[in-house]
Amino acid sequence: MNPTRANPWLEDPNANPIDPDPWHPHRATIGRIDRELDTPSSSVFTLEILLEPSPYADAYRFSPGQFNMLLLPGSGEVAISHSGPPTDRSFKTLQPGSFLHTIRAVGRVTDALEQLQVGDSLGVRGPYGTPWPMPLLIGQDVLLLSGGLGMAPLRPVLYAIQNHRDDFGRVDLLYGSRSPETILYAAELDTWRRWGIGVETIVDHAQDPLNENSQDTAPWVGPIGNVTQLLDRRESLGDYPDFRPERTQVLVCGPEIMMHRCAQSARKLGIPAQAIWLSMERNMQCGVGYCGHCQWGPLFLCKDGPVVSYDLAQTLLEIKDL
């Protein structure tokens, strides 16, 4: 198996353009903090991060799907995907040196990141990893499948598509969440619909079983189940008449089992494995292919991923506990 087939952008010299010294964290400050979710089961926030002026900051560009290593001295370092901002025609960020990260507080480092205030400092290394295959999406229909926090690395794709809407065919987002209260970027969904993106949401539970206040929110009238069901329904109801599997690219991000099931469903709809892209996560330490912590079969996901084609991922996903 040839790891370089994971993503054609590995061949692109601009895909990972900067930082001659990948071990060196760069100073940055917090420009803005948005609370995204505040439920007993989910604490999610978005940090706008501003790199301190330097040649690195001037050169900094990311492509949707890539990630940074965020360093808090005394706590540690974590891999976090870019969740914005919008990108320009070359799918690189417009504002050099600033970007967004949406983070769920789950442990030592992410809890410490949650304590940061506007103006506080942190270290940044990156951008790392393979991006979504944006050039392949041009002229194609695009189907985005997202589960939970998987929406964060997909949001820059929507921004990029909106910046050049005419370059893309039909664009749909099927988005699954545990409950209505945990739908990430809920306030943006109508904006995306106005951009001509078909947005469908589905939840596991109409009320969050872990949130005793969830009865106070408006009752959920949408579908209950998971994203795969939304996808399968397209086939069985025949309610998707202009669906063109031969010219559809599918981007999937969410829990591993969800991505595997979605990819299987997409295959049943006739979409080729090479047109299905998954964002794989493993514990990452160096981020640049040296330490081996992120190894997945023959791949080091920090550099051969996180975005890999299902063509390559399929056999690995079928190996139990890999």
Ligand X SMILES: Cc1cc2nc3c(=O)[nH]c(=O)nc-3n(C[C@H](O)[C@H](O)[C@H](O)COP(=O)(O)OP(=O)(O)OC[C@H]3O[C@@H](n4cnc5c(N)ncnc54)[C@H](O)[C@@H]3O)c2cc1C
Site residues (CB under 6 A) for ligand X?
67, 76, 78-81, 102-104, 106-110, 149, 152, 281-284, 306
From residue 245 to residue 284, the character string flagging contacts with ligand FES as x (rule: CB under 6 A) and all else as - is ---------------------------------------x
Q: Scanning residues 290 to 309, which ones bind ligand FES (CB under 6 A)? A: 290-294, 300, 302
| Nearest Cα residue to 91 out of 185, 167, 181, 170 | 167
Q: How far is CA 80 from CA 8, 100, 250, in A?
A: 22, 10, 22
Judge contact between 147 and 176, C-beta under 8 A.
yes
Q: Of 25, 65, 131, 287, which lies in the binding site for ligand FES, with binding defined by CB under 6 A?
A: 287
Choose among ligand X, ligand FES, none what residue 292 binds, the Cβ cut-off being 5 to 8 Å by kind: ligand FES
Q: How many angstroms separate the CA atoms of 204 and 68, rounded?
A: 30
Q: How far is CA 322 from CA 1, 80, 158, 318, in A?
A: 16, 22, 31, 9
Q: At what angle do helices 310-317 and 256-268 cross, to 10 degrees?
A: 120
Choose among ligand FES, ligand X, none what residue 137 binds, the Cβ cut-off being 5 to 8 Å by kind: none
Cβ proximity to ligand X: between 19 and 235 the closer is 19
The least distance separating ligand FES from the CB of residue 14, rounded to whole angstroms, comes to 21
Fill in the amino acid letter for 103: I
The verdict on 22 binding ligand FES (CB under 6 A) reads no
Choose among ligand X, ligand FES, none what residue 291 binds, the Cβ cut-off being 5 to 8 Å by kind: ligand FES
Cβ proximity to ligand X: between 112 and 138 the closer is 112
Binding residues for ligand FES, total number by CB under 6 A: 12
Q: How many angstroms separate the CA atoms of 242 and 238, rounded?
A: 10
Q: How many angstroms separate the CA atoms of 264 and 33, rounded?
A: 37
Binding site for ligand FES (CB under 6 A): 284-287, 289-294, 300, 302
